[in-house]
Structure 1
Amino acid sequence: MPQLTAITRFPVKGLGPDRMDAVGLQAGKVLPDDRRWAIENGPGPFDADNPGHVKKKHFLMLAGQAELARLDCRYEDAGQRLSVAVDAREAVTVDLEDATTHAPLFDRLAGLLGDQLRGPMRIVSAPGQAMTDIPQPHISLINAASVRDLAARTGHELDPVRFRGNLLIDGLDPWAEFDWIGRDIHIGDAVLRARDPIGRCAATSVNLDTGERDIDLPKALFEHYGHTRCGLYLSVEQGGRIAVGDPVLLDGTGATA
């Protein structure tokens, strides 16, 4: 039977992962604190007085700034603090909700990204709106077997975190998750509905250890499968606690391999 093998959030869009053993989901919401914040790459259309979803091109992101993968990030729920180090140097720590603390982080990012910055940076957030690539409050799921199948076909070792998914499951046949669209998935106390496959962009081509683009994964997906999709968007239909090791049940009766 498939199981949930990892829970991951990315508190700041484009920056590193924060792995969790368990989390409580709420109906109609994203994974708590996933992409809650984003860093503007120069002045953009985000309106702090009327905050909402803004297209990803206005923010720092792996698809545009691959060097962000070199950042070692540590997120603390208490105080909403983020510690960031570059290439094992001393970390700087900021309170993501306190703009007066952000200058040291911006200095590090300026040194890392140079002329890739289009102007002054600003950390932004919108209550109730995650800074994901889509406006809908969805959670993303990755099938580890699909990633292994892609790795085998390309001859390239692939860390599933490249796909920046929230939920990693294992114990399913490769690509079987695409057959789940429109169906309910029970994990722990929560019920999620599979909505849409996730189209992939250049962010997946970035090596998370080196910050370099070492393989064109959208191109590889198309060459081997005739599409550029990997993973599913899910909506939370019934909130509840989920934990690593939970079985994944399709329509409440068990997922088929």
Structure 2
Amino acid sequence: MSGVLVVREAGFAPVKGMRHLALRAVDLDVRGAVGNRAYCLVDVARARVLRTVQHPSLIAITARELDDGLALTLPTGETAYAPAAPAGETLRCDYWGRQVGLLLTEGPHAQLASDFLGTEVRLARAPRGGVVFADPVTVLTTASLEAVGMRAESARFRATLVVETDEPWVEDDWAGRLITVGGATLRVGGPVPRCAVVDHHPVTGVKDVRLLKRLVRERPTNRAGEPMFGVYATVVEPGRVDVTP
């Protein structure tokens, strides 16, 4: 079974955990959205990738990957911009229980982020898919967002794509289904478990709602008690996906 869906939003964060960018289009290949989580911040002393749920102020930093470098911008407007040149040092880090090889970089980004977060970090280039939790694409539906009153703040869920539907929660039955989005074809996987990141404002990172508790009451949960919202997907046919306003 297959279906063609209208894409209303698309986005990702070039640096894991930083502000989710709303984009006019994304290019999807077998490893997901090109440019998604190309970098991450690392606690070198602990050999650990920073997790957004433990450092929600990451959300307030805007990262943009440009042709000749990476720009990080704080809420104050202070910016670090330079080529994120590899330092030649590879560090194996823990990312949710698995080891991933990351290439540490030089430049002003680390100091800017360290001062803002209040903890010493380094910027590292990640292999494609290296700091992605499960399947590389996540999909939300407009009707489900409206059902929880979050259509205007969909960025809380940091989805790759938001697609148009009339009925909420129809995506719960999409497992295994092929869907067409723009020039790409996806195979839908399982549901996406949600954590406390959804309680934090998608621009400031400040905790301002109790959405997670509401989802626990209203949505199916996994064995860890995490509520399901949205679905994972893999890319079957790569292609460009344009947003329809």
Q: Same fold (TM over 0.5)?
A: yes
Q: 1:235 to 1:214 in 2, by over 3 A?
A: same
CA deviation string 1:167-190 (max 9, x = no partner) = 111233111111111110012222
**Structure with greater proportional strand content:** 2
C-alpha distance after superposition, 1:116-166 (max 9, x if no partner)? x3xx422233434331123x4x211111221221127xxxx8610111111
- Could you list the structure 1 runs, at least 4 aligned residues long, displaced by more than 6 angstroms after superposition: none
1:143 pairs, out of 136, 141, 144, with 141
How many angstroms does 1:234 deviate by?
0.5
- Cα distance in 1 for residues equivalent to 2:77 and 2:240: 37
State the alpha-carbon separation in 2 of the partners of residues 43 and 30 from structure 1: 30
Q: 1:126 to 1:86 in 2, by over 3 A?
A: closer
For residues 34-62 of structure 1, give each alpha carbon's deviation from its aligned partner in whole angstroms, at most 9, with x where no partner exists.
112111123344xxxxxxxxxxxx22232
Aligned to 2:75, which of 87, 93, 102? 87
| Gap change, CA 1:242 and 1:226, over 3 Å in 2 | closer
Alignment check: 8 A CA contact 2:188 2:232 kept: yes
Give the deviation of 1:196 after TM superposition: 0.8
Do structure 1's residue 218 and structure 2's residue 221 form an aligned pair?
Answer: no
Once residues 239 and 203 of structure 2 are traced to their aligned partners in structure 1, the CA distance between those partners, rounded to angstroms, is 34
Counterpart of 2:37? 35
User: Compared with structure 1, are the counterparts of its residues 4 and 219 closer, same or farther at alpha carbon in structure 2 (3 Å cutoff)?
Assistant: same
Q: Equivalent residue for 2:26?
A: 23
Provide the rounded CA distance (Å) in 2 between the counterparts of 1:233 and 1:97: 32
- Greater share of helix: 1
Report what 1:66 is aligned to. 56
Unaligned runs of 5+ in 1: 46-57, 247-257
Q: What is the aligned partner in structure 2 of residue 53 from structure 1?
A: none
Cα distance between partner residues in 2 of 1:133 and 1:94: 28
2:116 matched to which residue of 1? Answer: 112
Note the residue ranges of structure 2 that are not aligned, 5 or more in a row.
88-103, 222-226
- Separation in 2, partners of 1:232, 1:11: 21
Pairwise CA RMSD of aligned residues?
2.5
Quote the residue 1:240 is aligned against: 239
From the superposition, tell whether residues 103 and 24 of structure 1 become closer, same or farther in structure 2 (CA, over 3 Å). Answer: closer
Give the Cα separation in 2 of the matches to 1:226 and 1:216. Answer: 17
- Return closer, same or farther for 1:234/1:93 CA change in 2, 3 Å cut-off: same
Alpha carbons of structure 1 residues 226 and 146: separation in structure 2 relative to 1, 3 Å: same
Return the offset for 1:101: 7.0
**1:105 shift after superposition:** 2.2
**Paired positions, count:** 221
Identity %: 25
Instruction: Give 1:230's aligned residue.
Output: 229
In structure 1, distance between residues paired with 2:201 and 2:27:
31
Q: Which residue of 1 aligns with 2:96?
A: none
When residues 24 and 210 of structure 1 are mapped into structure 2, their CA distance, relative to the original with a 3 A threshold, is closer
